[in-house]
Amino acid sequence: MNLLNEKSTVEVQAIRAKKAGKVLSLLSTEDKNHALYAMAQRLETEFEFILAANEKDLQAVREKGFNEAYIDRLALSKKRVFEFSDGLRQVAVLEDPTGKIQLSKRLENGLQVSKISVPLGVIGMIYEARPNVTVDATGLALKSGNAIILKGGSSAINSNRAIVEVIHRSLSDSKIPKEAVQFIDSTNREDSQALFTMREHIDVLIPRGGGSLIHEVVSNASVPVLETGVGNCHLYIDSDANAAMALKILVNAKTDRPAVCNAIETVIVHRDWLTKHKMEFINTLSNHKISVHGDEHTLAEIPDATLANGEDWANEYLNLHIAMKVVRHVDEAIEHIELYGTKHSEAIITENDETADYFMQRVDAAALYHNASTRFTDGGALGFGAEIGISTQKLHARGPMGLDALTTVKFIMNGNGQIR
Amino acid sequence: MNLLNEKSTVEVQAIRAKKAGKVLSLLSTEDKNHALYAMAQRLETEFEFILAANEKDLQAVREKGFNEAYIDRLALSKKRVFEFSDGLRQVAVLEDPTGKIQLSKRLENGLQVSKISVPLGVIGMIYEARPNVTVDATGLALKSGNAIILKGGSSAINSNRAIVEVIHRSLSDSKIPKEAVQFIDSTNREDSQALFTMREHIDVLIPRGGGSLIHEVVSNASVPVLETGVGNCHLYIDSDANAAMALKILVNAKTDRPAVCNAIETVIVHRDWLTKHKMEFINTLSNHKISVHGDEHTLAEIPDATLANGEDWANEYLNLHIAMKVVRHVDEAIEHIELYGTKHSEAIITENDETADYFMQRVDAAALYHNASTRFTDGGALGFGAEIGISTQKLHARGPMGLDALTTVKFIMNGNGQIR
């Protein structure tokens, strides 16, 4: 007991998560699925308890004058809670990512070598005020045999606490120890930062939210990080682009769901194409209420455009604003993307396959599109099943990350006395 | 030029590496292999130039009184330089890890989705005074289409500078820009640390060397790290171990090459086995000049043992010293490994398959051995080809890492106007 008393509450939670994770890692797929179904059921029977807690959070943010989009992401309803439990049932039917034999060979000396997928151990989830992440991330972690430590945004603390209480009650009917789901019941920034350096207890940190949250974690964590979701995505309309296709894709990629990471934030237009299709382009923007922040070339062509500054090029607007740059060559487009892109999703519209290949070979991003909307960078849209997030890093996983991203491997060697 | 003048020399080098890496990433396998053969050839014709530089390094460390093992790793000879060039030719014949189609599917809407392996970009290699790493790492980086920044140990600076000069001369006959191999010509610690945070220019850092070097990089880098090679490996001799096999494996794992990371540093012995086989055990240790640092139970049984302190349990001796702990149950062995292991290689010797499975399911390490020596954790021994190192981390790659570990993927989407 003395030993534990010397550690911070968060560290004790991390140690408990690790211990519970070991028990969890040995459970069968059936046992894990049973727990997910029990969680889903319990969330539905106790939805009013969760909504009451959510109401407290909503009152507080309304008093603080937060904007509607923020409140919308925080707000729960019976329908939303039931969507959470549907999500858990969908995860239950997915294939178990652990225990897969990735390689099996017998060396000449008789040593049997197997490479088998196993859980990572403990996942630290740091996210903004979106209670849905509490349920989604817990479901994916448990299915892949991992314990999870949840640190959600302060504005959602009552909702998250209630959800975790319900999850804990549901786990008491399962073989998963409830310590496998740890909730950091604090709005203290230091308690979040404490997770950054717990290399002994936490195997991976997954920040989910806006750019500044992710930047803070990536810059300060010594625990390995899975970086997700910041998308400053570009659409390049080449001189050889089909105009109808270009405009259809521009509208879809910008306006279908402007607030998501695979929406575009900048359109780069070849000058020759713009000269030919100026009126259609202007009308399309205006019909869809898209506001343009452009360079000087843009201002000379688009009447309502305002002058873009450096921030516009780097900005994730996540609304109907768009930055615009006019170029004379595909190389200028590639350079601009190199400078400002976040390596998420980048698209080129052209009828010229050589130009398309040139672009796709040189642009460094998780997903590159020729004549299609960036909106397809999504595990669901690509038919990969539930996703933890979209990785914009190069190591471990890139692009839509499924349950496999929450596993590592063990080499298991069986011998009868082999020495070297 | 003004822009460049404001940046540090190291940053300018990193920017040049990135630019050269882009050219390199577009080259064919043949072009890359051609460059590797040219490098091998040139190292052989200019070996005397390299040995002369090496002599300067050796003089300096001799004057400083460094130990023989250190000097041995630094010392070059005609034979060793020719081994380097052989190594490059071996890398040339390996399969190109880039351009592999890992997934190819057409969605119902006609969008063609491909997942293709591509180079990481720029690798930052930080290593101790071992000139062989300069050649090995450069060969593996170039083969996988990556630029490399080399920061070797100060004591090897003359050797490394000479090797890189020869490499640069060889590259002038190839399509690989010589800027793809950057040498930090400095013994300044800050120039090494400058690499830690260059997330814009460097895609991955690979520290190679002792525990303190790796710890410094892992704790301070915001650039993603591939952690390699610290091996505090354990051999657990169970109550049901075959004595002859246990002793044969103990001797092999400790004495075959004590200085490598897959050698064992601690033997954990079940009390009942020790009681039965005490004399054979003592004689084996003494015949192989193995010195024991043990717990109190060990001291009661092994006449020449000295008392182990906390440091012994965590120490990589890398020589003929060994730590020893006597236990009453496999769980004690697992707990000890959990506390002090570095997740590299761990072995159990037992005739009881249930105990072996129990151990292998619960111990968290890259490689787990039942009745075999830990010495097999090695890309060559396992038949995987040349390796960058042995990963002791869980993300991206675990265990022996081949050329594939130096790649990431791109999703390439080809459409004809698909929107969501």
CB contact under 8 A, A414 and B362: no
Residues 126-185 of A with CB under 8 A from B: none
pLDDT tens digits, A175-214: 999 999 999 999 988 999 999 999 999 999 999 888 889 9
Q: Percent of chain A beyond pLDDT 90?
A: 88
Residues 195-254 of A with CB under 8 A from B: 199, 203-204, 218-220, 222, 224, 226, 242, 245, 248-249, 252-253
Residues 379-398 of B with CB under 8 A from A: 381-383, 393-396, 398
B chain contacts of residue A375, beta-carbon cutoff 8 Å: 419-420
Given a cut of 90, whether residue A69 has pLDDT beyond it is: no
pLDDT tens digits, B335-345: 999 999 999 99
CB contact under 8 A, A372 and B121: no
User: Does residue B5 belong to the interface with chain A, where contact is any CB pair within 8 Å?
Assistant: no
DSSP class per residue in B57-81: HHHHHHHHT--HHHHHHH---HHHH
pLDDT tens digits, B356-376: 999 999 999 999 999 999 999
Q: Which residue has the tokens 């995987």?
A: B384
Joined together, the tokens standing for residue A269 give: 């237009």
| Alpha carbon of B185: minimum distance to chain A alpha carbons (Å) | 27
**Mean pLDDT along residues A292-302:** 97
User: Of residues A228 and B242, which shows the higher confidence score?
Assistant: B242
pLDDT value of position B255: 97
CB contact under 8 A, A417 and B115: no
- Rounded-to-integer distance, Cα A39 and Cα A264, Å: 36
Question: What is the DSSP-derived secondary structure letter of residue A8?
Answer: -
Is B314 strand, coil or helix? helix
pLDDT tens digits, A119-159: 999 999 999 999 999 999 999 999 999 999 999 999 999 99
pLDDT value of position B1: 41
User: Does residue B419 belong to the interface with chain A, where contact is any CB pair within 8 Å?
Assistant: yes
User: Does residue A105 belong to the interface with chain B, where contact is any CB pair within 8 Å?
Assistant: yes
A chain contacts of residue B23, beta-carbon cutoff 8 Å: none
**Residue A1: pLDDT band by 50, 70, 90 thresholds?**
very low
Of A399, A409, A415, the CB nearest to B370: A415
| Alpha carbon of A57: minimum distance to chain B alpha carbons (Å) | 34
Residue A52's CB is within 10 A of a number of other CB atoms, namely 12
Residues 344-363 of B with CB under 8 A from A: 356, 360-362
Contact A20, A179 (CB under 8 A): yes
Residues 73-92 of B with CB under 8 A from A: none
Give the contacts of B59 (CB within 8 A, at least 6 positions apart): none
Given a cut of 60, whether residue A376 has pLDDT beyond it is: yes
Residue A300's CB is within 10 A of a number of other CB atoms, namely 11
User: Does residue A401 belong to the interface with chain B, where contact is any CB pair within 8 Å?
Assistant: no
A chain contacts of residue B218, beta-carbon cutoff 8 Å: 199, 222
Given a cut of 60, whether residue B218 has pLDDT beyond it is: yes
Given a cut of 70, whether residue A5 has pLDDT beyond it is: no
User: Of residues B4 and B117, which shows the higher confidence score?
Assistant: B117
Buried b / exposed e over B320-335, threshold 16 CB at 10 Å, is ebbbbbbbeebebbbe
| Alpha carbon of B77: minimum distance to chain A alpha carbons (Å) | 27
Of B218, B370, B409, the CB nearest to A414: B370
pLDDT tens digits, B161-216: 999 999 999 999 899 999 999 999 999 889 999 999 999 999 999 998 888 899 89
pLDDT tens digits, B278-327: 999 999 999 999 999 999 999 999 999 999 998 999 989 999 999 999 99
**Residue B229: pLDDT band by 50, 70, 90 thresholds?**
confident
Compute φ and ψ for A206, nearest 5 degrees: -120, 105
Quick one: how far is CA A229 from the chain centroid?
5
User: Does residue B413 belong to the interface with chain A, where contact is any CB pair within 8 Å?
Assistant: yes
**Residue B68: pLDDT band by 50, 70, 90 thresholds?**
confident
**Mean pLDDT along residues B220-227:** 92
pLDDT value of position A209: 84
Of B121, B366, B418, the CB nearest to A364: B121
Residue A264's CB is within 10 A of a number of other CB atoms, namely 27
pLDDT value of position B3: 52
pLDDT value of position B348: 98
CA dihedral B350, B355, B357, B362 (to 10 degrees): -110
Closest chain A residue to B341, measured at CA? A200
CB contact under 8 A, B395 and A224: yes
CB contact under 8 A, B395 and A408: yes
A chain contacts of residue B360, beta-carbon cutoff 8 Å: 410, 412
Domain B2-228+396-414 is found in CATH 3.40.605.10: yes
Given a cut of 90, whether residue A2 has pLDDT beyond it is: no
User: Does residue B420 belong to the interface with chain A, where contact is any CB pair within 8 Å?
Assistant: yes
pLDDT tens digits, B7-32: 899 999 999 999 999 999 999 999 99
CB contact under 8 A, A256 and B419: yes
Instruction: Identify which of A159, A163, A138 has the alpha carbon closest to the alpha carbon of residue A148.
Output: A138
B chain contacts of residue A199, beta-carbon cutoff 8 Å: 218
pLDDT value of position B5: 55
A chain contacts of residue B242, beta-carbon cutoff 8 Å: 417
The residue among B339, B414, B416 with the most chain A CBs within 10 A of its CB, best to mutate, is B414
The residue among B394, B396, B412 with the most chain A CBs within 10 A of its CB, best to mutate, is B394
B chain contacts of residue A367, beta-carbon cutoff 8 Å: 410-411, 413
The residue among B388, B413, B416 with the most chain A CBs within 10 A of its CB, best to mutate, is B413
**Residue A63: pLDDT band by 50, 70, 90 thresholds?**
very high
| Alpha carbon of B70: minimum distance to chain A alpha carbons (Å) | 25
Q: What angle do CA A64, A70, A73 make, to 5 degrees?
A: 130
User: Does residue B26 belong to the interface with chain A, where contact is any CB pair within 8 Å?
Assistant: yes
pLDDT tens digits, B377-415: 998 888 887 788 899 999 999 999 989 999 999 999 999
A chain contacts of residue B418, beta-carbon cutoff 8 Å: 371-373, 376
Residues 284-323 of A with CB under 8 A from B: none
Select the CATH number that applies to the domain covering B233-381 from these four: 3.40.50.300, 1.25.40.10, 3.30.390.50, 3.40.309.10: 3.40.309.10
Mean pLDDT, chain B, whole residue set: 95
User: Of residues A346 and A189, which shows the higher confidence score?
Assistant: A346
Given a cut of 80, whether residue A305 has pLDDT beyond it is: yes
| Segment holding A114, helix H or strand E | strand A112-119
In this chain, the answer to whether the domains covering B2-228+396-414 and B233-381 adopt an identical fold is: no
Contact A235, A350 (CB under 8 A): no
**Mean pLDDT along residues B143-160:** 97
CB contact under 8 A, A408 and B417: no
The residue among B226, B361, B411, B416 with the most chain A CBs within 10 A of its CB, best to mutate, is B411
Given a cut of 70, whether residue B4 has pLDDT beyond it is: no
B chain contacts of residue A22, beta-carbon cutoff 8 Å: 362
CB contact under 8 A, A367 and B415: no
| Alpha carbon of B367: minimum distance to chain A alpha carbons (Å) | 4
**Mean pLDDT along residues B258-285:** 96
CB contact under 8 A, B248 and A419: yes
Give the contacts of A410 (CB within 8 A, at least 6 positions apart): A115, A116, A118, B360, B365, B366, B367, B368, B398
Residue type, B418: Q
DSSP class per residue in A82-102: HHHHHHHHHHHHSPP-SS-EE
Sequence spans of domains, chain B: 2-228+396-414, 233-381
Mean pLDDT, chain A, whole residue set: 95
ipTM of the assembly? 0.91
Q: How long is chain A? A: 420
Given a cut of 60, whether residue A3 has pLDDT beyond it is: no
